[in-house]
Amino acid sequence: MDLDWSDKELAFRDEVRAFFAENLTSEARDAGSLMTSVYADHEAGMAWQAVLHEKGWAAPSWPVEHGGCDWTTLQHYIFSRERVTAGAPPVSPMGIQMVAHVIARFGTEEQKAFFLPRILTGEHFWCQGYSEPGSGSDLASLQMSAVEDGDDFICNGSKIWTTHAGEANWIFCLVRTSREAKQQQGITFLLIPMNTPGIKVAPLAMTSGEQVQNQVFFDNVRVPKKNVLGEVGKGWTVAKYLLEFERGGSAYAPELQVRLAALAEAAAQQPSDTGETLIDDPIFAAKLADARIRTDVLEIFEFRIMSETSGSGSVGVFSSVMKVLGTELQQYVTEIALEAAAAQGTVYQPHATRPGGPVIDYTPPANGYVSGGVWQAIAPLRYMNERAGSIYAGSNEIQRNILAKTALRL
C-alpha cells in the first residue's frame, strides 16, 4: 500500500482547499468548528448542503447516476480531511450518508426517482426510527407494530433517541409486521412522512442540556405499503446494510487529528501546576502522544480498509472495527481535553458553542462573556455527548460479539 499522494491527488486536494476557502462563510465555519457533538447546527448545516449541492459535492459517496462523484477512495478521504481542517460542518448523516444508500440498493425505480433527488437537495430531511424504550442494542427485539389494512400498514408504538425528529419531515423505521420464531424475521423497513396524522414528537434533554434527541410516538399511523423498502418481513437485511454506513461509513482519523492538533496548540498556552505550560507536563504530554499514536494507527487501518473495499461501496464487518476504535478514541480525546481545560472546563457555557439543537433552561450572559478559551467551553459538552459514542449504532460490546462471530469464527 503506497501512502504517498500522487500528483493527481495533490491537485485534487488543492482544488478542495480552494473551494472551501472561497465558499465557506463565517457562519458555516462557526457551525462546523464549534460543534459539541456529531451534529451541526441544523440551519447552518442545511445552508452549507445547498452550497455543496450547487457544486455537485453534496453526496460524493453516492453512485454517479444518482448525483455522486466519480472519485477514488483516496479522493473521498482527502475531501473528508479538508472539510474538517477548514471547519466546514458535516451534512446530516441520516439522509445522505445512511438511508440514501439503502434506497439506492433496495429501492424500486419509483422510490429512487422520488426520494434520492429530494435527499440531495435537502428538501427531505430524515431521522432514524430504530431504537425503542425496550430495544436498543438488542434491536431485533423491537415491538413497534405495523398491521396490514388494505393498501396500508397501521403503525403503533414508539421510537426513542431519535435525532432531529423535530426538524425531520421523513423517518425511516423498523417495524414488526409479523411474529416469527427468530426475532430478526418479521421486521420491515418502512419510510414514513413525519406529518402523517398520529405522529407525536417529544423532545428529550441530554446531559449537556441540548435537545437533539427525541421520543416519537405512533398512534394508528397509516402508511402506504408502497413505502416499504425491500421486502415485507425482510427489513433486517436492509437494516444491517444501513448500519455498515452508520458504524463505519466514514473515516474517524481526520477529525481526531485536527482536534488533537488544536488541543496541542491550546496546551502550549495553558499554564500547568509546575509553572510551565501544560504541554511541558510529562504526564499530559504522554497522554497526548498516546492519543496521536493511536489516531495514526487508526488512519493506517482506514487506509487499508479503503484500499481493500475500493469500488465495493461497503466496508462490511470492518464497520464494527472502525466503530469500536473510532468511538473509544473519541472518548479518550475528550477526556484529555477536559483535563486540559482544568477548572474552566467545569463552567457551563453553551453560548460559546454551536450545539446541534436548542439548549434548555440556560440564559447566557448579556455581554456574551466566556471564561477561558472557547475550546474550554466546548470540552465539557463534547465530553458529555461523546459518552454515547460507544453505545449508539449498536454498543461496542455488541460490535465485539459481531467480530468474534463473523471475523474470528468463535
pLDDT recorded at residue 160 = 96
pLDDT recorded at residue 151 = 96
* Residue ranges, the chain, pLDDT below 70: 1-3, 245-250, 274, 307-316
pLDDT recorded at residue 247 = 55
| Burial of residue 404 (number of CB atoms within 10 Å: 0-12, 13-18, 19+) | exposed
pTM above 0.75, yes or no: yes
160 forms bridges with which residues in the sheet? 215
Residue 192's contacts (CB-CB under 8 Å, 6 or more residues apart) are 129, 155, 170, 171, 172, 173, 199, 221, 223, 227
One DSSP character per residue, 130-149 reads --BTTBSSSGGG---EEEEE
pLDDT recorded at residue 308 = 67
Beta strands 213-224 and 152-160 are antiparallel
Q: Which H or E run includes 257?
A: helix 253-267
Place of cell 458504524: 247
Grid coordinates representing 32 are 462546523
Domains of the chain are 7-91 (1.10.540.10), 125-236 (2.40.110.10), 250-406 (1.20.140.10)
User: CA 248, CA 238: separation in Å to the nearest integer?
Assistant: 16
For 69, 86, 91, 256, the CA distances from 48, given in Å and listed in that order, are 18, 13, 8, 22
For 75, 292, 300, 302, the CA distances from 1, given in Å and listed in that order, are 16, 21, 10, 12
pLDDT recorded at residue 314 = 58
pLDDT recorded at residue 3 = 61
